[in-house]
């Protein structure tokens, strides 16, 4: 693996997205990965993905998404295909 050039970060593999039509603000994602998820400002306090999510491994992104009690966190691969498996 080649070293990164100064000022460049690795490209994130899987990327999480919180569907605000499904989120019930349980806080499971925020408690489990506060570097990657937080609450938006405002009266609804729905979960949002933070810049720190880029630091999580693909496996960790899926693990945290799986902790959402209403499956509001969807995960997409580099090609934009959803990889979240809610049946598991």
pLDDT in tens, 57-67: 999 999 999 99
Q: What's the whole-model pTM score?
A: 0.82
pLDDT of 42 strictly over 90:
no
Tell me how far CA of residue 6 lies from CA of 2, 12, 54, 55, in angstroms. Answer: 12, 17, 17, 17
Question: For 49-78, what is the mean pLDDT?
Answer: 96
Tell me how far CA of residue 27 lies from CA of 6, 41, 52, 61, 78, in angstroms. Answer: 35, 14, 17, 15, 26
pLDDT of 26 strictly over 80:
yes
Average pLDDT, the chain: 88
Is CATH 2.60.40.10 the right assignment for the domain spanning 15-76?
no
Whole-number Å distance between alpha carbons of 21 and 11: 28
Question: For 40-68, what is the mean pLDDT?
Answer: 94
Domains of the chain, by residue range, sit at: 15-76
């Amino acid at each position: 693996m080649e070293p990164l050039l100064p000022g460049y970060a690795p490209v994130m593999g899987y990327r999480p997205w919180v569907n605000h039509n499904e989120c019930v603000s349980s806080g499971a994602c925020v408690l489990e990965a506060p570097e990657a998820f937080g609450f938006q400002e405002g009266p609804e306090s729905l979960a949002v993905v933070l810049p720190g999510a880029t630091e999580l491994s693909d496996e960790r992104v899926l693990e945290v998404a799986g902790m959402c009690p209403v499956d509001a966190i969807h995960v997409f691969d580099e090609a934009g295909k959803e990889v979240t498996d809610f049946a598991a």
